[in-house]
Amino acid sequence: MARQARRWRAGAAGMAVLGLTLTACGGAKVGDSSSGTGGGADGSAKCGTFNLAVNPWVGYEADAAVVAYVAENDLHCKVTKKDLKEEIAWQGFGTGEVDAVLENWGHDDLKKKYITGQKTAVEAGPTGNKGIIGWYVPPWLAKAHPDITDWSNLNKYAAKFKTSESGGKGQLLDGDPSYVTNDEALVKNLKLDFKVVYAGSETALIQAYRKAEKNKEWVIGYFYEPQWFLSEVPLVKVNLPAYKAGCDADAEKIACDYPVYDLDKIVSAKFAKSGSPAYDLVKKFNWTNDDQNVVARYIAVDKMTSEAAAKKWVEANRAKVDAWIK
């Protein structure tokens, strides 16, 4: 027993020595370097925390990256990004957990529920992006059969679009269930020999187009702009009967193309009244489809972090950014 205790003591002493040695040659301490940025602290007192929803598509990620970068570096806000689907992000307006949604695609149902109904959200103006929804084919197909971009020729090619999923008809591929879509009604009302097949995710849709262009396969489906993928594979839009105001009033009887959406920003009612400089930034934030595609491409294709992508764009477009924060 005594011998054991001695060993134990020796071991403990050894440990203590080891510990002290390590401490002595330690190096930089946690918190040393960060105290240097104390200047940001009083800046953030004005702005406070800015809760920004990030909806799951790369275009939105680009919006959020740039707004967050400007809010952090120019306005010294503490930005908290929250990765959420649209529905849940809007829910967060009422509970104070989300301050802003930067890229809203129509969603009249949500506007009705949260803006006019619960009054927890308000509109904050357009982003400047034009949202275009429609049916697209891969470029090789539009080149090989130029007349395919007119909807009235689609039935001629229907058999070519047949797949194992389409039950003998041509396949029209739809994507994520949160998309705004009238495709089932369109197929019926335009008397097309097609069946809408739900891929179920944007990933599945993009992969289908990517493969179709590479292997010269026949694919037609739902897609939208602005989208980074179009800079990799420039899909060609199929012209449906032109949109006229009111032609989409009855969801069952729609037989016309989608309208061009003016994408807009929604903020929580509380945030709009808070006087935060971040709110002014969100309200003034405005850019083009090309701008967004550049940043989205940095993120999706060049695999930059969203911070690095935003930094690169902001430094190249200082004039635009300055207009937002004046």
Partner 1 sequence: MTVVLEKPEKSGTAEPVAPRGSRRTVGRPLRIGVILVLWLVLFAVLRGKQTLSLAAADLTDLHRWFNDVNDSIGANRDSNPLFLYFFNEIRLVIDTLAAFVQELISQPSAGRPLPQIGWLGVVGIVGYVSWAFGNWRVALLAVAGFTFLGLQGLWQESMDTLALTLSSVLVALLFAIPLGVWAGLSDRFHRIMTPFLDFMQTMPTFVYLAPLTLFFLIGGASATIATVIYAAPPAIRITAHAIRSVPETTVEAAESLGATRRQSLTKVLLPMSRRTVVMGVNQTIMAALAMVTIAALIDAPGLGKTVVQALQSLDVGTAFNAGLSIVVMAIVLDRVTTAASTREEEARRSKNRFLAWRRPLLGAGAAVTAVLVYLSHTFVWAAEFPGEGGLGSSIAGAADTTTTWVQDHLSGVTNTVRDALTNGLLNPFQSLLTDSPWWLVGAVLIALGAVLGGIRAGITTAVCVGLLVATGMWSDAMTTLASTVVATALVMLLGVVLGVWMGRSALVDRVLRPSLDAAQVMPPFVYLVPFLALFGATRFTAIVAAVVYAAPVAIKIIGDGVRNVPAATVEAATSAGCDTWQIITKVQLPMARGALTLATNQGLIYVLSMVVVGGLVGAGALGYDVVAGFSQGQLFGKGLAAGLAIVLLGVMFDRITQAAARRTSA
The footprint of partner 1 on residues 139-168 (CB under 8 A) is 163-165
Which two three-digit tokens encode residue 270? 């509380």
String of b and e for 199-238 (b: at least 16 CB within 10 Å)?
beebeebbebbeebbeeebbbbbbbbbbbbbbeebebbbb
Of 176 and 291, which has the nearer Cβ to partner 1? 176
Of 197 and 263, which has the nearer Cβ to partner 1? 197
Encoded amino acid at 178, one letter: S
Alpha-carbon 241 to chain mean position: 29
CB 105 within 8 A of CB 247: no
Is 84 a binding residue for partner 1 by CB under 8 A? The answer is yes
Footprint of partner 1 on 109-128 (CB under 8 A): 109-110, 113, 117-118
Is 189 a binding residue for partner 1 by CB under 8 A? The answer is no
- Binding span for partner 1 by CB under 8 A among 64-72, 203-211, 234-242, 254-262: 203-211
* Environment class of 174 (CB within 10 Å of its CB; exposed 0-12, middle 13-18, buried 19+): buried
Which two three-digit tokens encode residue 203? 């990933």
Residue 107: closest CA among 83, 80, 88: 88
Is 103 a binding residue for partner 1 by CB under 8 A? The answer is no
Rounded-to-integer distance, Cα 297 and Cα 232, Å: 9
- DSSP secondary structure of 112-151: IIIIIIS--EEEEEEEEEEEEEEEEE-HHHHHH-GGGGBG
- Binding span for partner 1 by CB under 8 A among 123-131, 144-152, 206-214, 257-265: 206-214
Is 18 a binding residue for partner 1 by CB under 8 A? The answer is yes
CB 187 within 8 A of CB 174: no
Supply the minimum distance, in Å, between the C-beta of residue 205 and partner 1. 7
- Binding span for partner 1 by CB under 8 A among 126-134, 170-178, 242-250, 316-324: 170-178
Binding residue count for partner 1, defined by CB under 8 A: 72
Is 253 a binding residue for partner 1 by CB under 8 A? The answer is no
Question: Residue from 187, 197, 263, 309 that binds partner 1 (CB under 8 A)?
Answer: 197
| C-alpha torsion sign, points 136, 141, 143, 146 | negative
Encoded amino acid at 201, one letter: S
Is 177 a binding residue for partner 1 by CB under 8 A? The answer is yes
Is 47 a binding residue for partner 1 by CB under 8 A? The answer is no
Question: Residue from 7, 46, 244, 284 that binds partner 1 (CB under 8 A)?
Answer: 7
Of 100 and 205, which has the nearer Cβ to partner 1? 205
Of 196 and 282, which has the nearer Cβ to partner 1? 196
Of 196 and 321, which has the nearer Cβ to partner 1? 196
Of 142 and 299, which has the nearer Cβ to partner 1? 299
Is 95 a binding residue for partner 1 by CB under 8 A? The answer is yes
β 220-225/170-174 pair status: parallel
Encoded amino acid at 94, one letter: G
Is 206 a binding residue for partner 1 by CB under 8 A? The answer is yes
Of 162 and 320, which has the nearer Cβ to partner 1? 162
Is 57 a binding residue for partner 1 by CB under 8 A? The answer is yes
DSSP classification of residue 257: P
